[in-house]
Amino acid sequence: MGSFSNATVLITGGASGIGKLMGESVLKKGARTLVIWDQDSNGLNRVVQEFTSKGYSVHGQLVDVTDLDSIRSAAAELKDRFDGVDFLFNNAGIIVGKLFEEHTHADITRTMLVNADAPMHITLEFLPGMIGKGMGHIINIASAAGMTANPNMAVYVASKHSLLGWSESLRLELEKKPGRLRVTTVTPFYIDTGMFEGVRSPIIPIVRPEKAAAKIIRDTENEKIFSRMPAIVYAIPFFKGLLPQRWYDVVVGKWFGIFRSMNAFKGRL
C-alpha cells in the first residue's frame, strides 16, 4: 500500500474542486508538503492560507500548464527545494461543451494542451527523479469520457481518450522498471462541480466531489490501476466489447441518457 506519510505531493489545479479536497486529504494523512499548481492566483492564495493556518506545510505556485516554460520553471524550483515529488496528481482540466462545429481553433488547442499535453510534460519533468529513487506514483485524472464518445463534448472526449491511452502505456513501461513506480488512471463520471454545471443524468448518478476525492485518495493508497466511479463505469468496456455499435448507442446513449446529458450544459472552464 502507498502511504502519503512524510511524502511530497503535487496537485495541479489544486486550488478548487476535487483538487483542493484531495490536497486537504493528503495533508490529514501525513504528507510532509503539499504543492499546489494553479493559474487562479486569488484561489491559490486563499487555499494556501487556509491550509497553512491549520499548521500544514503547503507551497503554492502560479503555473499555466499550457506554457511549457511555466511548467519547467516551476518544476525546477520544486526539484531544487524538495528533491522532486513522491506523488503527482495530474488533475487540472477544462471542458468546452458544445457542438464540434461551434468550437474555435483556440478552443481545440487549449483543451488539448490542458487535458492531454500538460500531464505528459509535467510528468516528464518529475519522472526521471522518481525512476532514480525507485519510487513514485502518478495519478492521472482522466474521465469516463475517455472510454466512450458523447455529443457536445467531442474535443473534451478526444483529450481524455488521449490521456487514457498515454496513462496506460506509461503504466506498462514503469512496471518493467525496478522499484515501486505506480500509475493510477482515474475515469469518473460527471462530478458535481462548477465545471459540469447544467449536466443532467437520469440513470447514472452524478458523483459528489467529496466522494470522488475520497475514492481517488483511497485507490491511490491501494495502488489501484484504475479508479472509476460510480461502479457502473466499470461496465463500459464490457458493453463496448459485447454490443454492436448501434446497440451500444441505444443502450448507453438513449436508455441511460448519456447522449442527452450535455443538452443543458453551462459549466465553466
Cell triple for 116: 492531454
Question: Which one from 156, 190, 234, 248 is the annotated catalytic residue?
Answer: 156
- Give the N- to C-terminal CA distance of the chain in Å, as an integer: 35
Rg (CA), the chain: 18
Residue 2: closest CA among 228, 219, 227: 219
DSSP 5-48: TT-EEEEETTTSHHHHHHHHHHHHTT-SEEEEEES-HHHHHHHH
Residue 248 designated active-site: no
Residue with cell 446529458: 261
Residues involved in catalysis = 156
